[in-house]
Amino acid sequence: MAQELVLVVIKMIVVFAVALLIVAYLTYFERKIIGHMQLRLGPMRVGPHGLLQPIADGLKLFVKEDIVPHDSDRWTFYFAPILNLVCALVLLAVIPFSYNFMVTRLNIGVLYVLSLASVGTIALLLAGWSSGSKYPILGGLRSAAQIFSYEIFLGFSIMGVLMISGSLDLVKIVEAQSKVWNIVYQPVAFVVYVIAALGELNRVPFDLPEAENELVAGFHTEYSGFKFAYFFLAEYANMIVVSCMAVILFLGGWKGPVLPGIVWFLIKMCAFFYFFIWVRATFPRYRYDQFMRIGWKIMLPIALANIVVTGVVMMLV
Amino acid sequence: MMEKGLMDKGSVEGQVTEDLMRDTLKTREMWLNMGPQHPSTHGVLRLILALEGERIVDTEIVIGYLHRGMEKLAEAKTYPQFLPYTDRLDYISSHAMNFGYVLAVEKLMGIEVPERAQYIRVMMAELTRISSHLIWLATHALDIGAMTVFLYCFREREMILDLFEMACGARLTTSYFRIGGVAHDLPDGFIEQAREFCKIFPKKAQDYDDLILKNRIWLSRTVNVAKISGEEGLNLGLTGPNIRGSGVYWDIRKDEPYSNYDKLDWEIAVEHGCDVYARYLVRLKEMRESCKIVSQCLDILEKLDGPVMAKVPKVIKPPEGEVYASVEAPKGELGFYIVSDGSPKPYRLKIRAPSFANLISVPTMVRGHMVADVIAVIGSIDVVLGEVDR
Amino acid sequence: MAGEKEKKVSKEEVKEERKPKAPAAEEAAKKKAAAPKDEAPQEPQVDVDTLPLVKRVKEVKGEFIEDVKYFRGEITFVVEKEVIVDLCHFLKDDSETRFDFLTEVIGTHYPEREKPFEVVYHLYSTSKKHRVRIKVQLAEDEEVESVFPVWRSATWYEREVYDMLGIRFANHPDLKRILLPDDWEGHPLRKDYPLQGPPGYREAWIKAHCASTNKL
């Protein structure tokens, strides 16, 4: 019993540490990749080829002055970014990186992930409201509205996969893909999932609430220093979680020839990262009303239709 | 929600107070200030937006943050001394500003500029047009979110700025033109390098098209946004690519040709969409046409010899009288009105700046749109505050 | 290079021309006195009434026109201030003139004249491709009516004229300063306004806004 506990604790620490490291270096690779796509080099100065850049950024945010606005609700102001980051990192507890490497195995893994992602949205609302000024409130409301709109059809796109796999357990879902990956059976759901992921992560082309040229600077206007770093880390941690889920649900998790499972998992995850970064470098951004229209009027019907078609095909086959 | 501290005593505030007093049950409009410092207003431009929900009901534009008193200064400087000031008007397309000024003074004095100088001027003006449109495209795309186009455009602009540096030593504020011609002839190697640019540019310009011309997101942000008809545009003072995007066939280079534009083979760029996308297409086409003009000028300049400066008296004392001369600057019609009293300094010099007039139509264009569109509109009008405020 | 040699020759020529001053200068002065002042050596003599635009305007609104001038290919009408809006409506709507574009409204200050202020309107026709200039002369404190009903762009041009010269426009929807701050006193483009700004203003501003006492 004690041995199991120690093992779980070790796994937790490993996953936590690796996740934070990946988050930090994800920011670095984003800057590098976007830079190269834009005919420039990206960070080059801090360390060889700028490899120590994330550490420098973290240190900078750490030593900044802690500013709390006068009109803010102090405790909520401190609590909101922590909640956001916690919700993002806790999701990693159920992700199976390999057939025997996961922190814990829940038989309702998918439900767990979807629910905690929604709790993260509450954190944004709290952050916006507790700042005590006009623009963060509006920005927070906007971001929250955007995220839960896209979460709805994120959930629906996963339904098709659940119907095929017959279980909410993430390990069983991957096992069900031992012959054919789910992307072959659910291409439409895959596309809808990817778009929902972009919307939920507040990334281009759906990043208007965060855009610099938007007047409303978003829910994290009043945050500076390490509290801002929490939001920043949470955004990239969410990106990791979303990519992991995509790999598990659609791309066969750790399945692959020759290399060990976890290596395949990481490769597929990095493919997703590259895709998200590539999209950021390429596309303009949608206006707020346009992407809400896309979410509700286009994506949601498609996701629902996908469920119906999957059901019908499953009955016939 | 109304922040009185931000408002000047202006009509918009007065109107809202009246509304308030009349009908307290009506929902109040919200004021949003896009202050002078803002990443997207292309300079120190202040917009006060009256919003009802997300839609803009009215706009007030406040300018003057960059006013340097150029017209008053002109009355204290001699004609050649004022030339570098014109660079600082639209600092992005300084050759075109110089062009307008020297044409006005030459018209006043009745000077005829030698052929070689005229073709050099045309070539420089068109290279400036390409450079200015590249910056426009870069910033416009960046505002709407496509950040990669920004860097691609600057890559080509570097080549043009290198050419300028070769010819006159300066990249941005060039002062290459003189009253009566250009300062000095083109250096060796200029024509080869310029030809290199003309060969590369159409292919590289294809990069910008690949990224955004048919992109769904770009189209949904720019098509049917900020429509203004040709007639309304003319009434409100729009000139240049803005009015040509609304179907008006007006280009000063074609209608009142100066400096041998009528001897060159090129087409005017007109679109009928009247929206942001149409203006975008017009400027894209203009860049390609300018490239054509530059190649033709290079061909001519290779064979044409001659002086690059007319016989101009050392002290420029125009006869008494007044003239108005205008050129097609990248942003619209740039005009200079000079009143001379026979002395070496102008008695009155008025600069008709295209961006100043183009801003007049922004409130009309933006009415009924959302806040995110304001940035697209200002980008599509292509304002440079240097010439708005002078 | 060929161009530079040519330029050197022209400089020398110019110097030579200026050397024999005394006898030639007297003759030149006599010539200048004889010829009208606003004509350069190459300016051809043109009878303004033969120009089609002048003919048309005089035909229909002849009573408005006080004077017609022609210089360097540009036609200038000098009119009384009362008729300006009428004339502009005519010029915009008439099928032969069709001035659908107001290029600029300019103000100038001639302090030595009886009517020291002058408001100049530049018009352009996009269909007929011709230009015209209309001038209105005003005394101190006289107002001229705004041409805003004819071309809406007049609002900003007239605001600038008011800002820089202090000429007021009647029936202007929103006459206030445009380039200078709203609380500025004085009108800079008047000839009696110093180039450096009002005396003492700069020092007062520095004292009020700058922390250090160093003179800039």
Chain B residue nearest residue A33, CA to CA: B148
Taking the CA of residue B269 and the nearest CA in chain C, the distance in Å comes to 16
B255-261: average pLDDT = 88
Distance between CA atoms of A218 and A214, rounded to whole angstroms?
Answer: 9
Could you tell me which of B1, B12, B9 has the C-alpha nearest to residue B60?
Answer: B12
H-helix segments, chain C: 2-18, 22-34, 52-61, 84-93, 154-165, 201-209
User: Do C and B share at least 3 CB pairs under 8 Å?
Assistant: yes
Residue A60 contacts B, CB cutoff 8 Å: no
Judged against a pLDDT cut of 80, whether residue B40 lies above it is answered with: no
Residue with the two structure tokens 């750490």: A62
CA dist B242 to B220, B225, B383, C92, Å? 19, 13, 11, 22
Q: Which residues of A touch B151 (CB under 8 A)?
A: 38-40
B286-300: average pLDDT = 91
Taking the CA of residue B264 and the nearest CA in chain C, the distance in Å comes to 20
Chain B residue nearest residue A133, CA to CA: B1
Question: Bridge-partner residues for B349, per DSSP?
Answer: B338
The chain-wide mean pLDDT, for chain A, equals 85
Strands B55-62 and C74-79: unpaired
Task: Report the largest interatomic distance among the alpha carbons of chain C, rounded to a whole angstrom.
Answer: 68
Taking the CA of residue A205 and the nearest CA in chain B, the distance in Å comes to 8
Judged against a pLDDT cut of 90, whether residue C51 lies above it is answered with: no
Residue with the two structure tokens 């009143």: B339
Assess contact for A56 and A46: CB atoms under 8 A. Answer: yes
Q: Which residues of A touch B211 (CB under 8 A)?
A: 282
For chain C, how many residues are written?
216
3-state SS, one letter per residue, for A159-219: HHHHHHHCCCCHHHHHHCCCCCCHHHHCHHHHHHHHHHHHHHCCCCCCCHHHCCCCCCCCC
Is residue A146 domain-resident? yes
Residue C153 contacts B, CB cutoff 8 Å: yes
Is pLDDT larger for residue C160 or for residue A202?
C160
Judged against a pLDDT cut of 50, whether residue B1 lies above it is answered with: no
CB contact under 8 A, A289 and B1: no
Q: Which two structure tokens, joined as six digits, stand for A301?
A: 């019907």
CB contact under 8 A, B1 and A134: yes
Distance between CA atoms of B227 and B231, rounded to whole angstroms?
Answer: 12
Distance between CA atoms of C136 and C144, rounded to whole angstroms?
Answer: 8
Judged against a pLDDT cut of 50, whether residue A26 lies above it is answered with: yes
Taking the CA of residue C26 and the nearest CA in chain B, the distance in Å comes to 18
Q: Which residues of C touch B10 (CB under 8 A)?
A: 174, 176
Instruction: Give the number of B-C residue pairs with CB atoms closer than 8 Å.
Output: 133
Is residue C155 domain-resident? yes
Percentage of chain B surpassing pLDDT 70? 92
The minimal CB distance from C14 to the residues B185, B255, B314 is found for B314
Given pLDDT bands bounded at 50, 70 and 90, which one contains residue B128? very high
Q: Which two structure tokens, joined as six digits, stand for B144?
A: 């709407």
Which amino acid, one-letter code, is at B113? V
Judged against a pLDDT cut of 50, whether residue C38 lies above it is answered with: no
Residue A145 contacts B, CB cutoff 8 Å: no
Q: Which two structure tokens, joined as six digits, stand for B265?
A: 């083979």
Judged against a pLDDT cut of 70, whether residue B55 lies above it is answered with: yes
B324-339: average pLDDT = 92
pLDDT score recorded for residue B127: 93
Dihedrals phi, psi of C151, to nearest 5 degrees = -130, 125
Is residue C100 domain-resident? yes
The minimal CB distance from B335 to the residues C4, C103, C193 is found for C103
Chain C residue nearest residue B9, CA to CA: C182
Testing the interface with C: which of B11, B12, B63, B72 to mutate, by most C Cβ within 10 A?
B72
Residue A285 contacts B, CB cutoff 8 Å: yes
For chain B, how many residues are written?
390
Testing the interface with C: which of B234, B244, B256, B301 to mutate, by most C Cβ within 10 A?
B234
Is residue A203 domain-resident? yes
The chain-wide mean pLDDT, for chain B, equals 86
Q: Which residues of B touch A293 (CB under 8 A)?
A: none
Could you tell me which of B101, B108, B93 has the C-alpha nearest to residue B384?
Answer: B93
pLDDT digits (tens, 9 = 90+) for A33-54: 998 988 888 888 888 888 888 8
CB contact under 8 A, C100 and B234: yes
Assess contact for B354 and B387: CB atoms under 8 A. Answer: yes
CB contact under 8 A, B308 and C13: no
pLDDT score recorded for residue C20: 43
B253-268: average pLDDT = 88
Q: Which residues of B touch C103 (CB under 8 A)?
A: 324, 326, 333, 335, 352
Judged against a pLDDT cut of 70, whether residue B28 lies above it is answered with: no
Given pLDDT bands bounded at 50, 70 and 90, which one contains residue B293? very high
Could you tell me which of A179, A180, A185, A123 has the C-alpha nearest to residue A157?
Answer: A185
Taking the CA of residue B304 and the nearest CA in chain A, the distance in Å comes to 39
Max avg pLDDT among B11-25, B332-346, B366-380, C24-38 = B332-346
Q: Which residues of A touch B148 (CB under 8 A)?
A: 37-38, 281-282
Residue B184 contacts C, CB cutoff 8 Å: yes
Indicate which CATH number applies to the domain containing C173. Answer: 3.30.460.80
CB contact under 8 A, C174 and B11: yes
pLDDT score recorded for residue C55: 81
Distance between CA atoms of B206 and B212, rounded to whole angstroms?
Answer: 10
CATH class of B70-389: mainly alpha
pLDDT score recorded for residue A125: 85
Count the domains in chain C.
1
Which of the other chains make 3 or more beta carbon contacts under 8 angstroms with chain A? B
Residue C19 contacts B, CB cutoff 8 Å: no
The minimal CB distance from A212 to the residues B39, B370, B371 is found for B39
Domain positions in chain B are 4-62, 70-389
Task: Report the largest interatomic distance among the alpha carbons of chain B, rounded to a whole angstrom.
Answer: 77
Percentage of chain A surpassing pLDDT 90? 7
Given pLDDT bands bounded at 50, 70 and 90, which one contains residue B214? confident
Assess contact for B48 and B62: CB atoms under 8 A. Answer: yes
Cβ contacts of residue A91 below 8 Å, gap of 6+? A112, A113, A116, A117, A241
ipTM of the complex as predicted: 0.84
A44-54 CB burial, b ≥16 within 10 A, e <16: eeeeeebeebb
Judged against a pLDDT cut of 80, whether residue A226 lies above it is answered with: yes
Assess contact for A35 and B147: CB atoms under 8 A. Answer: no
Assess contact for B336 and B324: CB atoms under 8 A. Answer: yes
CB contact under 8 A, B38 and A287: no
Distance between CA atoms of A314 and A163, rounded to whole angstroms?
Answer: 9
B114-121: average pLDDT = 92
Q: Calculate the dihedral angle through the C-alpha atoms of A261, A264, A269, A271, rounding to the nearest 10 degrees.
A: -170
Assess contact for B159 and B130: CB atoms under 8 A. Answer: no
pLDDT score recorded for residue A284: 83
**Cβ-defined contacts of C58-66 (< 8 Å, 24+):** C60/C90, C60/C94, C61/C86, C61/C87, C61/C90
Taking the CA of residue B116 and the nearest CA in chain C, the distance in Å comes to 9
Which of the other chains make 3 or more beta carbon contacts under 8 angstroms with chain B? A, C
Q: Which two structure tokens, joined as six digits, stand for B140?
A: 């416009």
pLDDT score recorded for residue C22: 44
Given pLDDT bands bounded at 50, 70 and 90, which one contains residue B6? very low
B16-25 CB burial, b ≥16 within 10 A, e <16: beeeeeeeee
**pTM: predicted TM-score of the whole model, two decimal places:** 0.83
Distance between CA atoms of C134 and C121, rounded to whole angstroms?
Answer: 5
**Cβ-defined contacts of B30-38 (< 8 Å, 24+):** B30/B1, B30/B2, B31/B1, B31/B2, B31/B3, B31/B6, B31/B7, B32/A215, B32/B371, B33/B3, B33/B6, B34/A215, B34/B374, B36/B62, B36/B65, B38/A213
Percentage of chain B surpassing pLDDT 90? 39
CB contact under 8 A, C3 and B308: yes
The minimal CB distance from B217 to the residues A215, A281, A283 is found for A283
Instruction: Give the number of A-B residue pairs with CB atoms closer than 8 Å.
Output: 67
Judged against a pLDDT cut of 90, whether residue B99 lies above it is answered with: yes
pLDDT digits (tens, 9 = 90+) for A255-313: 878 888 888 888 999 999 999 999 888 888 888 888 888 888 988 899 999 999 999 98
The minimal CB distance from A284 to the residues B144, B151, B155 is found for B144
A111-119: average pLDDT = 88
B361-390: average pLDDT = 87
B334-356: average pLDDT = 92
Listed range (B131-135, B345-349, C66-70) with the worst mean pLDDT: C66-70
pLDDT score recorded for residue B24: 47
Is residue C14 domain-resident? no
pLDDT score recorded for residue B19: 52
Chain B residue nearest residue C177, CA to CA: B64
Dihedrals phi, psi of B113, to nearest 5 degrees = -90, 135
Q: Which domain holds residue C86?
A: 48-192
pLDDT digits (tens, 9 = 90+) for B199-212: 999 888 887 888 88
CB contact under 8 A, B375 and A289: no
CA dist C167 to A249, B164, B321, C51, C161, Å? 74, 43, 23, 32, 6
Which amino acid, one-letter code, is at A239? M
Taking the CA of residue C60 and the nearest CA in chain B, the distance in Å comes to 24
Cβ contacts of residue B362 below 8 Å, gap of 6+? B47, B59, B61, B377, B378, B381
Listed range (A138-147, B170-179, C16-25, C180-189) with the worst mean pLDDT: C16-25
pLDDT digits (tens, 9 = 90+) for C136-148: 998 888 888 899 9
CB contact under 8 A, A284 and B372: no
Is residue A6 domain-resident? no
pLDDT digits (tens, 9 = 90+) for A131-151: 877 777 777 787 888 888 888
Is pLDDT larger for residue C3 or for residue B49?
B49
Residue A14 contacts B, CB cutoff 8 Å: no
Taking the CA of residue B220 and the nearest CA in chain C, the distance in Å comes to 30
Could you tell me which of B77, B176, B125 has the C-alpha nearest to residue B331?
Answer: B125
Distance between CA atoms of C92 and C86, rounded to whole angstroms?
Answer: 10
Residue C36 contacts B, CB cutoff 8 Å: no
DSSP string for residues in C58-110: HHHHGGGEEEEEEETTEEEEEE-GGGHHHHHHHHHH-TTT---EEEEEEEEE-
pLDDT score recorded for residue B18: 52
pLDDT score recorded for residue B10: 46
Half-sphere CA count of B207, side-chain side, radius 13 A: 22
Q: Which residues of C touch B305 (CB under 8 A)?
A: 2-3
Chain B residue nearest residue C40, CA to CA: B319
The minimal CB distance from B360 to the residues C38, C106, C156 is found for C156
**Cβ-defined contacts of C139-144 (< 8 Å, 24+):** C139/C114, C139/C115, C140/C116, C142/C81, C142/C115, C142/C117, C143/C167, C143/C168, C143/C169, C143/C170, C144/C81, C144/C84, C144/C119, C144/C169, C144/C170
Q: Which residues of B touch A288 (CB under 8 A)?
A: 54, 370, 372
Judged against a pLDDT cut of 70, whether residue B273 lies above it is answered with: yes
Could you tell me which of B258, B329, B381 has the C-alpha nearest to residue B89?
Answer: B329
pLDDT score recorded for residue C216: 54
Cβ contacts of residue A309 below 8 Å, gap of 6+? none
